[in-house]
């Protein structure tokens, strides 16, 4: 027995006694407290897990077998929230059985997510100072937690086990103890500094993101005071735990007469010197140490019990949520479940476990709230409030208990109404709120914890559409789409009429094999203001020798916005028509003028049989310009460029338009909000078909004002809808005299005309 223990050091040398002066009774009370708090923690976690288990499958952790069986489109996607991390391969196209979003978390994506979590990448994005402070708190907390676990292993397992074997041993001494002390002190100090910054920011930072005022104002009023109190309780508890820990250490060092090795606890050492400096002797310090020990211990036990009932739970839920995050959930929506007795979400049982986990993961950081164009324009939608309302409703419905983390309302409607009669789409989240969303995905992109607002909003919209709860203008656009295949309600034979004014014929890809099939999109084909742009692009491509053709009347609306409105049946009808048209044509690639069409053709149509790549026209133009196929003369013009949401944020196409501008010699001044942080024009998600006259400020007007702050002559767009939205916004904001809205196509044409003139001269 003794020989088995021979390699372990004896419990002598530099160390500290864990329960020094606490006594046997005190030790017993401590363990009773620890048992109680751990039991409450486990019970609270179990209640949460039980709620998630109630959710439908989300298809995030499919078995290896089903992943092998699933069709793979090999699409590259960013693997972590915010899209900042490396890319990964999503295995399996979205399933159409409605049980999964098509994203499989495998070892690679999970590893990427965990690295992002460890580096706090998603928290640092958009707010570097808060991210760094959170990093300090995050690693400080983990280090102190590991320190406590190490101490427990030594005291409760190693010592007891070796004692039972005959001779008590411990590794918590000597060099190990000194290293442990300096690491925990340093990380504890980092934790304190991070906490101080976060508390200062909350108290004095005047951050709009941390203002809990609702976007939608419920009748009868509301109070979110508990949110504020809960935040401060969480921060205050953590800070008090740290402070008492350091004070305890300082009084212990003072009481033990400054043993020289305790200099390895530098913060405690400094506090001990302070204690001595104010005249507290060793006896007094010993008494205070005992009191401080109990305060610290009770507070720590209380904190453990409090975690699953409070904001502190995000420390656990966020890890799981980031790992299970599907970066493609908005760009590639999944079909409604077959066999359900209703379409879209009506009850809590309609939600997947990931959607329920989303609700508990929200930290109320407000980053989505300040990024949302609907919120900024005075609409009743805030993605933060959307999640918080659903969370409260889900908790009410399942008897969940939260502590200082609830909104109070005098009425029984809205999120407080957790009874079975309440409809989630319409009562918990109002109809107006749901129709305010442009599906721009700024919320998903901004959220540091992997919450997927857009796909949930679309599920609720599906239910509204099913019940006919939509604006007449939207209804009429959907009717047009169902009858004519376009939202303008024009005969499909008119779709290619814009080509009549060209002095060459655009090949019909259904009868003539072409390299590129140009999917023009409704706006570029039917809107008279945009038809000239389409003709200009056709001329540019024709003159550059590009082999392209059209589907003519067989092109129907791509259905991207129809799907995001929630009209899945119509979406599938449009897709099936277009896929049949693609199959009747002969081409190698598709390019489209419309970023919305690009999104669905690229990400959703493959599930329906499209097996050709889809590009945006700026990608084609960039290649042509760089290869010299389009002769141009440098334009001496200062421009800014607006990234369309569906191009930049959804599909990562940010460089090609800039390559075009560079090739044209434009002096590009970036918008403050650019690339994946772009700001929506307000037209997406079917909003183009809805009335926006009630908004305080249209998103497009907000954007034009942003551009007007820059010293530029042109506001460049790369989307037909953007061209109309921003041309109107420049007028309504009074900036049209000094800020000209132009499409990339117009700039290319201007540069090549200038080159022609030089040649002619």
Residues that bind ligand SF4 in the complex, under the rule CB under 6 A: 362-368, 371-374, 381, 383-384, 387, 437-443, 446-447, 449, 451, 453-454, 680
* Residue among 588, 577, 570 at smallest CA distance from 554: 577
The nearest distance, CB 318 to ligand SF4, in angstroms, is: 8
The nearer residue to ligand SF4, 628 or 694, going by C-beta atoms, is 694
Helices (H), 216-265: 225-255
The nearest distance, CB 237 to ligand SF4, in angstroms, is: 20
Q: Are 328 and 444 in contact (CB under 8 A)?
A: no
DSSP code at position 57: P
Q: Please, which residues have CB within 8 angstroms of residue 118's CB and are 6 or more apart in sequence? A: none
The nearest distance, CB 473 to ligand SF4, in angstroms, is: 18
The nearest distance, CB 382 to ligand SF4, in angstroms, is: 8
The nearer residue to ligand SF4, 311 or 409, going by C-beta atoms, is 311
The nearest distance, CB 92 to ligand SF4, in angstroms, is: 25
The nearer residue to ligand SF4, 44 or 450, going by C-beta atoms, is 450
The nearer residue to ligand SF4, 370 or 751, going by C-beta atoms, is 370
The nearer residue to ligand SF4, 297 or 368, going by C-beta atoms, is 368
Distance (Å, rounded) from C-alpha 471 to C-alpha 473?
5
The nearer residue to ligand SF4, 592 or 678, going by C-beta atoms, is 678
The nearer residue to ligand SF4, 330 or 481, going by C-beta atoms, is 330
Distance (Å, rounded) from C-alpha 574 to C-alpha 596?
14
**Beta strands in 11-92, from DSSP E residues, in sequence order:** 76-78, 87-89
The nearer residue to ligand SF4, 105 or 365, going by C-beta atoms, is 365
The nearer residue to ligand SF4, 317 or 632, going by C-beta atoms, is 317
Neighbouring C-alpha atoms within 13 Å toward the C-beta of 264: 19
The nearer residue to ligand SF4, 449 or 663, going by C-beta atoms, is 449
The nearest distance, CB 739 to ligand SF4, in angstroms, is: 24
The nearest distance, CB 521 to ligand SF4, in angstroms, is: 21
The nearest distance, CB 330 to ligand SF4, in angstroms, is: 7
Q: Which residue carries 């079975």 as its tokens?
A: 420
Strand partners, 615: 591
The nearer residue to ligand SF4, 571 or 679, going by C-beta atoms, is 679
* Alpha-carbon dihedral angle through residues 730, 733, 739, 742, given to the nearest 10 degrees: -10
The nearest distance, CB 30 to ligand SF4, in angstroms, is: 36
The nearest distance, CB 685 to ligand SF4, in angstroms, is: 7
Q: Are 55 and 354 in contact (CB under 8 A)?
A: yes
Distance (Å, rounded) from C-alpha 234 to C-alpha 254?
30
Distance (Å, rounded) from C-alpha 272 to C-alpha 553?
84
Quick one: which H or E segment has residue 450? none
Distance (Å, rounded) from C-alpha 406 to C-alpha 404?
6
SS3 517: strand
Cβ-in-10-Å burial (0-12, 13-18, 19+) of 382 comes to buried
Q: Are 677 and 373 in contact (CB under 8 A)?
A: no
The nearest distance, CB 100 to ligand SF4, in angstroms, is: 22
672-677 contacts at long range (C-beta below 8 A, 24 or more positions apart): 672/706, 673/706, 674/641, 674/643, 675/643, 675/648, 676/82, 676/83, 676/445, 676/643, 676/648, 676/649, 676/652, 677/126, 677/371, 677/442, 677/445
């Amino acid at each position: 027995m003794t020989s088995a223990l021979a390699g372990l050091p004896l419990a002598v040398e530099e160390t500290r006694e864990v329960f020094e002066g606490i006594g046997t009774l005190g030790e017993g009370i401590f363990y009773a407290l620890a048992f109680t708090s751990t039991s409450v923690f486990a019970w609270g976690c179990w209640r949460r897990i039980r709620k998630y288990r109630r959710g439908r499958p989300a298809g995030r952790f499919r078995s290896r077998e089903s992943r092998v069986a699933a069709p793979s489109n090999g699409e590259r996607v960013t693997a972590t929230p915010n899209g900042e991390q490396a890319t990964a391969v999503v295995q399996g196209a979205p399933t159409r059985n409605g049980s999964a979003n098509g994203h499989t978390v495998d070892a690679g994506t999970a590893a990427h997510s965990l690295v992002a979590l460890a580096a706090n990448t998603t928290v640092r994005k958009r707010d570097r100072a808060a991210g760094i402070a959170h990093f300090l708190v995050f690693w400080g907390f983990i280090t102190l937690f590991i320190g406590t676990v190490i101490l427990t292993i030594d005291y409760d397992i190693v010592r007891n086990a070796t004692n039972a074997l005959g001779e008590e041993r411990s590794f918590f001494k000597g060099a190990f103890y000194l290293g442990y002390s300096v690491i925990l002190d340093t990380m504890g100090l980092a934790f304190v500094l991070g906490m101080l910054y976060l508390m200062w920011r909350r108290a004095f930072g005047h951050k709009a993101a941390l203002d809990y005022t609702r976007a939608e104002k419920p009748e009868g009023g509301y109070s979110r005071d508990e949110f504020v109190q809960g935040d401060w309780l969480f921060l205050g508890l953590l800070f008090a735990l740290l402070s008492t820990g350091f004070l305890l250490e300082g009084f212990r060092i003072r009481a033990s007469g400054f043993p020289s090795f305790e200099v390895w606890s530098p913060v405690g050492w400094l506090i001990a010197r302070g204690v001595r400096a104010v005249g507290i002797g060793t006896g007094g310090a010993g008494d205070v140490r005992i009191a401080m020990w109990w305060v610290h211990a009770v507070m720590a036990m209380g904190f453990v019990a409090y975690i699953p009932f409070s904001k502190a739970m995000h420390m656990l839920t966020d890890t799981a949520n980031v790992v299970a995050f599907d970066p493609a959930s908005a760009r590639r929506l999944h079909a409604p479940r077959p066999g359900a007795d209703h379409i879209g979400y009506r009850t809590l049982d309609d939600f997947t476990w990931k959607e329920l986990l989303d609700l508990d993961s929200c930290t109320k950081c407000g980053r989505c709230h300040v990024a949302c164009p609907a919120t900024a324009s005075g609409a009743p939608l805030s993605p933060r409030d959307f999640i918080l309302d659903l969370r409260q409703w889900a908790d009410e419905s399942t008897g969940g208990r939260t502590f200082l983390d609830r909104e109070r309302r005098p009425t029984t409607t809205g999120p407080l109404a957790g009874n079975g009669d309440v409809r989630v789409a319409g009562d918990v989240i109002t109809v107006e709120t749901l129709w305010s969303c442009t599906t721009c995905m700024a919320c998903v992109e901004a959220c540091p914890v992997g919450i997927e607002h857009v796909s949930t909003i679309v599920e609720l919209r599906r239910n509204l559409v099913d019940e006919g709860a939509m604006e007449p203008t939207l209804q009429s656009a959907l009717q047009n789409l169902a009858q004519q295949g376009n939202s303008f309600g024009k005969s499909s034979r008119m779709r290619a009429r814009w080509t009549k004014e060209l002095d060459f014929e655009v090949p019909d890809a259904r009868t003539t094999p072409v390299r590129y099939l140009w999917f023009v999109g409704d706006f570029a084909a039917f809107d008279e203001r945009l038809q000239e742009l389409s003709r200009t692009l056709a001329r540019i491509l024709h003159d550059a020798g590009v082999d392209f053709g059209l589907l003519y009347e067989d092109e129907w609306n791509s259905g991207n916005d129809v799907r995001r409105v929630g009209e899945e049946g119509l979406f599938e009808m449009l897709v099936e028509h277009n896929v049949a048209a693609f199959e009747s044509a002969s081409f190698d690639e598709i390019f489209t003028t419309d970023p919305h069409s690009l999104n669905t053709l690229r990400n959703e149509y493959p599930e329906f049989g499209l097996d050709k790549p889809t590009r945006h026209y700026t990608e084609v133009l960039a290649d042509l310009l760089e290869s010299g196929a389009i002769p141009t003369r440098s334009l001496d013009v200062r421009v800014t460029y607006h990234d369309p949401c569906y191009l930049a944020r959804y599909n990562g196409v940010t460089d090609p338009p800039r390559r075009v501008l560079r090739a044209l010699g434009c002096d590009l001044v970036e918008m403050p909000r650019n690339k994946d942080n772009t700001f929506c024009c307000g037209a997406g998600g079917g909003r183009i078909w809805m009335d926006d006259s009630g908004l305080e400020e249209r998103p497009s007007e907000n954007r034009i004002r942003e551009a007007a702050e820059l010293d530029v002559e042109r506001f460049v767009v790369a989307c037909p809808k953007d061209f109309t939205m921003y041309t109107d916004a420049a007028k309504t904001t009074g900036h049209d005299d000094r800020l000209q809205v132009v499409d990339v196509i117009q700039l290319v044409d201007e540069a090549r005309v200038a080159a022609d003139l030089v040649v002619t001269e």
